[in-house]
Chain A
Amino acid sequence: MIPRNFIYFSPSSEKEALELLNEYKSDARILAGGMSLIPLMKMRLVSPSYLIDINKVESLSYIKEEKNRLRIGALTRYYEIEKSSTLKKLLPIMNEAATWVGDPQVRNMGTIGGSLSHADPSGDFGSVILALNGQIITSSLNGQRTIKADDFFVDSFTTALNANEMLKEIVIDLPEGMNGGAYVKLERKAGDFAIVAVAAQLSIDSKGNCNYAGIGLTSVGPTNLKAKKAESFLLGKQLNERTIDETAEIAASEARPIDDPLRGSAEYKRAMVKVLTKRALNLALKRARGV
């Protein structure tokens, strides 16, 4: 498996990268970790004429706590997310989800910005960012834009990025009060794309009522899906077996799976959304309560 040839650039700054992107637009692709892009190029399913390698742009790699927000640079590798003590303290769902991405070597290279831009509906972090109501900051020579995660994923392998734009960072409002999250994944074998995976993030008030519910679904639609009806159903409610069960049922109804001859029928996937949503919510609740 050999890719077609291309012209290679290795810019040393974000600005330089954006200038190149502005010049070559859709003839160019950004190379970050390359864990999705390079296999596609090797199979000649994608053959960019220009490759803009941003791996030397170190300013794009960071995990920063900032007031009530968290900023993650696009070039942050999954292994850094997996190991980040900042995240462990503030958003441990991120560390947990990172351990489910690909395999160790893939996580050593693969970046959060790269996989979100790739917009594979079976990607893990799309669901996490949706569950956390994250925002995507893009940059181009025209300046920056802020896009809600929910608006970022347009279709399979299609994002709201313009041809001259790249994903710069992910911004997440930090949860308040008692909160917890979980990423639960059902896969054929380690490192495979999910049959189904569910990201759930909860906050509860002192009375035990839900004051934040975020649910993201993996591999059950044209994009990672935000289970909005399920989220709003749960909001303000006591979290108990019945409400969690109903929430999971609603999430399953929001899924839009199609038959996959290797990873499961639509029927099975939908049923698994319910199972995994329940499991993820229960885990998140347990963690929120600190038990």
Chain B
Amino acid sequence: MAVTAIFGARVKRKEDPRLITGKGTYVADITPLGCLYVAFLRSPHAHARIKSINASKALSMKGVIAVYVGQDIKGKLNPVPTGWPIATDPPIKIPKYYPLPLDKVRFQGEPVAAVVAENYYIARDALDAIEVEYEPLPTVVNQEEAVKESAPLLYDDIPNNTSFVWELKGGDVDSAFKEADLIIEKRMVNHRLQPTPMESRAVVAQYNSATNELTMWITTQAPHIHRLLISGILNMPENKIRVIAPDVGGGFGSKIPTYGVDALVAFIAKELKRPVKFVEDRRENYLATAHGRDHIQYVQLAAKKDGRILGLKVTSYANLGAYLSTAAPGVPTYLFGLMLSGAYKIKAVNCKVYGVLTNTAPVDAYRGAGRPEATYLVERMVDILAQRLKMDPAELRKINFIKHDEFPYVVCTGIQYDSGNYERTLEKALQLVEYKKMRGEQAKARAEGKLIGIGISSYVEICGLGPSRAVRGTGFSLGLYESATVRVHPSGKVTVYTGTSPHGQGEETAFAQIVAEEFGISIDDVEVVHGDTAMIPWGMGTYGSRTVPVGGGAIAIAAKKIIEKAKKIAANMLEVKEEDLAFEKGRFYVKGAPSRGVSFQEVALASYQGEQLPAGMEPGLEATTFYDPENFTFPFGTHVCVVEIDKDTGQINILKYVAVDDCGRQINPMIVEGQVHGGIAQGLAQAIWEEAVYDNSGNLITATLQDYAMPTAMEIPSFITDSTVTPSPHNPLGVKGVGETGTIASTPALVNAVVDALSHMGIDHIDIPLKPERIWKLLKNR
């Protein structure tokens, strides 16, 4: 059993044995005795006044226990708060988002009534027996339409359906544009997506009326935040609520927000004094769980003839849906605007974002959250500039890159990139794809009438969210530090309690690797506990590629505190001075006399026995840390994609895909690769296949997995992955995070490849998704 060099090893995951045998426990698998089931009646209209609801027939059905409508919760449940009310002038307008609407529905699928029944089948039957009289209202689904004077209003007190206008001014953009030899203007659409974790959302609530304690199992990425917000909605003390995230089947951002229906399920459990369960079906997940992206961007880029980029102006219309979801205001603003200088030395960036309410499902974070929308725009504009200047896109990137010896580097948007070597990942990616040879093949293919394209995307990402001072400055309601408790038991076995809430990312393994390495013990002796507010002091959750840099950082610090204390105990046990001790491979020993020593396990036992402790020291061996990082982390990399286009049909065939990523030090390269693979697949999915489509009346026509085109193993190619390691200088572990890099990089890499294949026809941009028809239409007209 190897007990050293665990950090950095391709260790098989500790979470897998239960998941590959069907012994995982997801929320839908939990059914307390006497459990009731909730089904929601959802609005078929995207915008309508509720004139009346008659549930008497439903209530008379056998097995139906109760029906709740908006008026039943009036005054009993508070609206769902927004967790990121960004600071703008004039102030952000936050609509009241009740778990069940009181008067109007504002998107298709918004729940209007909850049926509680003895089983799910009866609850579903009862939905058909509820009569709702709606007065349909005019609908607006597109954000550019919604801001027009003539548009129907979702809220009487929110003019132009505009919740906020957010501005970012970095550098002197006017002088940058004056200096320019050329200015490129483009309108770009970054369309709406349905996050689609394979597990839809579910919640089980159980209430003990004697103790006034509420236990909730929720498919959540952030149990403590959910507890805090649900306590507010329910007017219930936070310390009387326990939120548990058991195994969670992916989230990709859509399980960060707190949903009104979850609080409502808890409310029903309290009212009826019985456990209550709600499991979304996929259609409900698509109609009512938060969507992602959905920007319309107007971009201007100023550059010199020699390829130097001087400035960028962006006006973006962000579709937020009908209500402001938990993180919704921050995603298309800070997480977008701050990333607009990409990997480049750009003097000035101006960004203006209109946060627009429409009759669509709420929009919140989706893998990458704001950063893919920024990177796509930047990487597309860089390619368009290269095309205009007839320069090689790789060369143009090199000209504008922040150089490796310039870090830390403060970009014009005001943030400080911690470390990087952008040239190196680019060079490595170009080598792996055999760039020169591919260009030759492209020229040859073109001469034969074939359409082959090579697309590069060099990204940098802001993650490891984040320093509390910085995020509080953006209006985020809490700090974004992370907690960890590392508890060494008398036997020397260890339990780690993390405030992050992994749901597929593998931190039960990666965190155990950190601790095993620090203590010099076997990874089998470390258990990682997450996702339970009763066991973990506090936690901000898993999203924004923060789990390893922030959550892992906290664990590393806590482990170091334990070593410090253990060393003092060991010194006392060995009757030597602390500074005379060395710690290696799980053993404290006297320098120069290695046979005199005590094992980590012996020290652990002594710490609980007490009599061998130095005078005044408390017994026990555990540490709790709240780690608040001093800066964000900035992973980066270059992806290159090669495609061939079928001229007759417009279909894209991905011939090769190379990814070189740098996420700092890697705890488990196998898991890193897995994150990159999945990320790339999701980014490619946006580039070609996936799109949430509403018709003009606000009907979601991609409301099932039959219609929402999530790619299969037949569409997604194999990827060639590699990495470089540029440690984060300020992170305790030198790590940066890797959960979102693939998604951020791959969409522009693919689109750049497709446009490159068509560039000789004078095509410089095509809006995503690149459905074959879109490409076919372009080709037909040439």
Contact = CB atoms under 8 A, between A and B. Distances in A.
A–B contact at 8 Å CB threshold (below) = yes
Interface of A: 1-2, 4, 39, 44, 103, 186, 188-193, 195, 261-262, 264-265, 268, 271-272, 275
B695 A189 contact: no
25 contacts: A1-B283, A2-B121, A2-B124, A2-B125, A4-B125, A39-B706, A44-B128, A103-B712, A186-B649, A188-B689, A189-B711, A189-B712, A190-B713, A190-B714, A191-B712, A192-B709, A195-B772, A261-B693, A262-B707, A262-B709, A264-B771, A265-B773, A268-B773, A271-B776, A275-B648
A262 B281 contact: no
Nearest to B650: A268
A262 B651 CA distance: 15
B769 to A, nearest CB: 10
B704 to A, nearest CB: 8
A261 B701 contact: yes
Contacts of B709: 188-189, 192, 262
- Most-contacted residue by chain A among B120, B283, B771 (CB, 10 A): B771
Nearest to B712: A190
Contacts of A193: 706
Given A2-B125, A186-B649, A188-B689, 15 more contacts: A44-B128, A186-B651, A189-B689, A189-B714, A189-B715, A190-B712, A190-B714, A192-B709, A195-B772, A261-B693, A261-B695, A262-B702, A262-B707, A271-B776, A275-B649
Interface string B692-704: 0101000001100
Contacts of A39: 706
Contacts of B693: 261-262
Contacts of B124: 2
Nearest to B780: A271
A192 B771 CA distance: 14
Nearest to A274: B648
B701 A1 contact: no
Chain A contact surface mostly: loop
- Most-contacted residue by chain A among B649, B702, B707, B713 (CB, 10 A): B649
A166 to B, nearest CB: 26
Interface string B427-438: 000000000000
A44 B281 CA distance: 14
Contacts of A186: 649, 651, 772
Contacts of A271: 776, 780
A271 B772 CA distance: 12
Contacts of B712: 103, 189-191
B611 to A, nearest CB: 65
Contacts of A195: 772
Nearest to B708: A262
Interface string B312-355: 00000000000000000000000000000000000000000000
Contacts of A192: 706, 709
Contact of B776 (A188, A190, A268): A268
- Most-contacted residue by chain A among B281, B648, B689 (CB, 10 A): B648
Contacts of B648: 275
A275 B702 CA distance: 27
B647 to A, nearest CB: 10
Contacts of A272: 649
Contact of B701 (A44, A103, A262): A262
Interface string B738-782: 000000000000000000000000000000000111001100100
Contacts of A265: 773
Contacts of B125: 2, 4
A136 B338 CA distance: 65
A264 B651 CA distance: 13
A126 to B, nearest CB: 19
B485 to A, nearest CB: 42
Interface in B99-138: 120-121, 124-125, 128
A264 B128 CA distance: 34
A248 to B, nearest CB: 11
B40 to A, nearest CB: 13
A44 B121 CA distance: 13
B603 to A, nearest CB: 55
Contacts of A188: 689, 709, 771
A125 to B, nearest CB: 19
Interface string B280-304: 0101000000000000000000000
A261 B703 CA distance: 13
A191 B702 CA distance: 16
Contact of A264 (B283, B689, B702, B773): B773
A81 B125 CA distance: 39
B645 to A, nearest CB: 14
- Most-contacted residue by chain B among A189, A191, A264, A275 (CB, 10 A): A189
Nearest to A44: B128
A100 to B, nearest CB: 12
B651 to A, nearest CB: 7
A283 to B, nearest CB: 14
B715 A190 contact: yes
Contacts of A4: 125
A261 B699 CA distance: 12
A101 to B, nearest CB: 14
A44 B283 CA distance: 13
A24 B24 CA distance: 45
7 tightest Cβ-Cβ pairs between the two chains A and B: A190-B714, A2-B124, A268-B773, A275-B648, A190-B712, A188-B709, A1-B281
B45 to A, nearest CB: 19
Contacts of A189: 689, 709-712, 714-715
A38 B620 CA distance: 60
Contacts of B713: 190
A189 to B, nearest CB: 5
- Most-contacted residue by chain A among B120, B281, B695 (CB, 10 A): B281
Nearest to B691: A262
Contacts of B707: 262
Interface in B471-510: none
A193 B706 CA distance: 9
